[in-house]
Chains A and B, each alone.
Chain A
Amino acid sequence: METLGFLIDGFGVALAPHNLMFALLGAFLGTLIGALPGLGPANGVAILIPLAFTLGLRPETAMIMLTAVYAGAMYGGRISSILLNIPGDEPAMMTCLDGYPMAQKGKAAEALAISAVASFMGSLIATVGLILLAPILADFALTFGPAEYFALFMLAFATLGGITGKNPMKTVVAAAIGLMIATVGIDNTGVQRYTFGVLELYEGVDFIIAIVGLFAISELLFFIEERAGGGKAKMVVNKLKLSWKDIRDIMPTSIRGGVLGFIAGVLPGAGASLGSFISYTLEKRVLGSKGSFGEGDPRGVAAPEAGNNGASSGALVPMLTLGVPGSGTTAVLLALLISLNITPGPLMFTQNADIVWGVIAALLIGNFLLLVLNIPLVGIFVKLLSVPPMYLLPIVTMVAFVGIYSISNTTFDLYFMVAFGMAGFVLRKLEIPLVPIILGLLLGPEMEKNLRHALDISDGDWTVLWDSGLAIGLWVFAGLGLILPYILGPLLRRRMQVAASTGGPEGD
């Protein structure tokens, strides 16, 4: 098989000692960057591009190192989610939901280890998918027009109800807040909405600022409040106890998450956040009340991690086959390719086979490196928890400030972040979940844009939205996602109550 030959050549490139060394360096730096709140993979790769140039690296070595940084950052994002309840980057947001409760129960080490294994699985599945299916998937991505994208985003919102909390109304309120914030900025037709003549608002609200503000700053405010009122219990730090059974338990979840994430990654513009989100909500739907999602279920940690790592490899499909960046990070990688004298586009697989397959092989190897790197590091990361919050949180806050400032170099963003922090504090007091806010903010603009495009193309005819088989399929899934819980939920609950005599009614 031709592909296999290319892949073996690719391994030849990736396993060259100096390439391997740079892959390891990249994986390590990436994990670090991913773990720091505010510094996401896109910024990490951008920061390290000059390093690649300064070292005078060859194109394939540079690409291999930066792909490793990319993969590493996706691994790293989970660390602060689990330990601090602050997502290291936006796709890691969903990991907070069960990761942090696990840590609170004294299972931080397990959460980190499980998420590393799930990340590995997600990435592995997606990389294999990339190798086998890249050309077919490129055609699949082309069939997504505005109507199909709109239906896809509707699917995401339809499954939102199941994500957090006891009160579905509060989830809806939160999503609505996110969508409202998403309208700020210059819209698709060039009209300014809620910009108040402030230049910084023209391009809308950067979701990194919102995430770091809502999560990190509000966490600090909570801490201050608790100190004033007597302080909170110190978290128990444990030794890693992970059996094969634990790993086996999360395997089906990881595989499902990896596949879903991969599909989300393949579609340009959908991205890793959507991948981790859909993986989590669907996993919760699949397992229903069999799991203790939201209270520290290991599968709730595995699903989003497999999802976001699957998506990050999936995002390489449109980048390598179509020359279209599916995410911010792949946009940076694409820019690097261009500056290395490689024309991105459909011919890259044939014209630059050595680089493309070198990168794919590096992704596989990097993935193994990351797993090997991450399991022993669990112990070190967990030690972070034994640092008293009164020292730890100010440091995290400082890192957050530095990270946010480095994105756009304006102090406006810092004020904005603090404002989000205060809003986050109030919202958490009201028990309004933060995750749907970010999702509304993240998906809102894309959803609106695709709706407008669809209507522009059809000259205002709404039927275009369900004109293709693919769109109809997505609508059906969205409809099921919305309705099923209300039909199946009571049924399952009744059966559960019969099965377990102690099982109390649980709100959904």
Chain B
Amino acid sequence: MSMRAPLKLFAAATLTLTSSMAMAFEPQGKVECLAPADPGGGWDFTCRSVGKVMEDLDLVPRSVQTINMAGAGGGVAYAHTVSKRAGDEQLLVAASTATTTRLAQGQFQGMDADMVNWVGALGADYGVIAVSKDSEYQDLPSLMNALKDDPRSVKFAGGSAKGGWDHLKVLIAAQASGVENLPRIPYLSYNNGGEAMTQVVGGHVDAFTGDISEAQGFMESGDLRVLAVLSEERLPGEFSDIPTAREQGIDAIGPNWRGFYMPADVSDDAKQYWIDAMDTIYESEEWQNVMTQNGLMPFHMSADQFENFVKSQIRSIEDLSKDIGLIQ
């Protein structure tokens, strides 16, 4: 609950610039990581775990302080970064597919993806569609066929808001398998993936849409049958038994990446420093351990490649949202 103002090292910066032009950027003092949600969620986890790895790898001089700024599904933190933190070179903000979804649907009023610097992604959590163990559906095509006959025949529960990423994953899969009348498919939004899952396991809702890491516990206990994972290829390790949607003839991909953006108007040196840092973190043993422990799958991009990915993802979500009438 510390609230010191961000350190603005103007003096140090000017000194560096005048003394030697070649001197690259190095963070001084405290580095902040902004988690746009309350403690306990995915963004909070991103900040805390990456922050710890950065400390271990000496990428930061002191500590990385995680600051929670909840509101508007990340919109409050986005607005804060755009309007109040431009030029702050020691601020990273956690982001994920939820961020691009909201940007695509225009939920951050008057703001777009060009207003921040996209630094990099450090892993992804792939989407799954699952049913309870007693369900009549054994694979994804049979579930989708039921939807084709009657879009209201299967009800989905997920942890995101209506129109949010968990909802979109269902629609992506339904669209890919040729279901018509997508807006008619019922989606029930819960506070988190866990609550949604208990409703499915308890037999109140037909199917669960969420991320593989959320489903892991109930999957291992046998209460939940994962019909498909929305990844390009089968996932490694213990998840290799789960078929992808693709191999069942439904071309649906749903990676929920975890990464960072930083404020606009930062120097090229500073941006490069954090891009390099992302690469170093991703390759480190420490981070690979965190990924395995938390069910994060290989997914890495930085710099321009990441920025292009973010923008193309925003475009495709925008198109989908228009198709299904979520936005005009």
Contacts and interface: CB of A to CB of B under 8 A. Distances in A.
Interface in A261-276: 268-269
A268 B186 CA distance: 23
A289 interface: no
B1 A408 contact: no
Given A203-B70, A203-B71, A346-B217, A46 B189 contact: no
B220 A343 contact: yes
B52 A53 contact: yes
A335 B38 CA distance: 11
B218 A345 contact: yes
A49 interface: yes
Nearest to A36: B1
Contacts of B326: 190
A199 B79 contact: yes
A338 B71 CA distance: 24
Given A42-B38, A46-B39, A188 B162 contact: yes
Contacts of A348: 217
A34 to B, nearest CB: 14
B216 A345 contact: yes
Interface in B167-224: 186, 188-189, 191-192, 194-195, 197-199, 201-205, 216-218, 220-221, 223
A408 B109 contact: no
B16 interface: no
A318 B217 CA distance: 13
Nearest to B162: A190
A155 to B, nearest CB: 19
A314 interface: no
A197 interface: yes
B4 to A, nearest CB: 12
A331 interface: yes
Contacts of A407: 68, 70
A334 B45 CA distance: 11
Given A323-B217, A341-B293, A408-B70, A457 B204 contact: yes
B41 interface: yes
A410 interface: yes
A1 to B, nearest CB: 23
A202 B39 contact: no
Contact of A324 (B69, B197, B294): B197
Contacts of A334: 40, 194
Nearest to B200: A142
Nearest to A143: B202
Contacts of A402: 1, 3
Interface in A136-153: 141-146
Nearest to A330: B40
Nearest to B32: A409
B39 A43 contact: yes
Contacts of B71: 199-200, 202-203, 408, 410
Contacts of B294: 338-339
B221 A345 contact: yes
Q: Which of A49, A145, A324, A328 has the most CB of B within 10 A?
A: A324
A203 B72 contact: yes
Given A189-B162, A345-B217, A345-B221, A459 B152 contact: yes
Contacts of B217: 323, 343-348
Interface residues of B, number: 56
Interface in A329-383: 331-332, 334-335, 338-339, 341, 343-348
B68 A323 contact: no
Interface in B72-91: 72-73, 75-76, 79-80
B159 to A, nearest CB: 11
A318 B188 CA distance: 21
B161 A190 contact: yes
Contact of B80 (A47, A202, A410, A456): A410
B198 A199 contact: no
Contact of B221 (A335, A347, A409): A347
Contact of A47 (B1, B201, B221): B1
Given A190-B162, A200-B76, A345-B221, A46 B202 contact: no
Nearest to A145: B204
A190 B187 CA distance: 12
A167 interface: no
Given A322-B198, A341-B293, A347-B221, A408 B76 contact: yes
A318 B69 CA distance: 27
Contacts of A324: 192, 194-195, 197-198
B99 interface: no
A449 B189 CA distance: 8
A49 B65 CA distance: 12
A46 B65 CA distance: 12
Nearest to B221: A346
A235 interface: no
Contacts of A207: none
B11 to A, nearest CB: 26
Contacts of A189: 162
A392 B67 CA distance: 29
Contacts of A144: 202
A453 interface: yes
A477 interface: no
Contact of B67 (A186, A409, A456): A409
A325 interface: yes
Contacts of A197: 109
A325 B198 contact: no
B263 to A, nearest CB: 15
B66 interface: yes
Contact of B45 (A339, A347, A457): A339
Nearest to A202: B72
B165 to A, nearest CB: 13
B192 A331 contact: yes
A186 B109 CA distance: 14
A386 interface: no
Contacts of A322: 194, 198
A146 B204 contact: yes
A339 B40 contact: no
A292 interface: no
Contacts of B80: 409-410
A408 B205 CA distance: 34
B117 interface: no
B186 to A, nearest CB: 5
Given A45-B39, A199-B76, 19 more contacts: A42-B39, A49-B48, A142-B203, A146-B199, A186-B72, A197-B109, A199-B79, A199-B109, A268-B195, A328-B38, A339-B49, A343-B220, A346-B217, A348-B217, A402-B3, A403-B1, A408-B69, A409-B3, A410-B69
Minimum-distance CB pairs A-B, first 9: A345-B217, A46-B39, A202-B72, A145-B204, A142-B202, A331-B40, A324-B194, A406-B1, A346-B221
Interface of B: 1, 3, 38-41, 44-45, 48-49, 52, 66-73, 75-76, 79-80, 107-109, 152, 155, 161-163, 186, 188-189, 191-192, 194-195, 197-199, 201-205, 216-218, 220-221, 223, 290, 293-294, 326
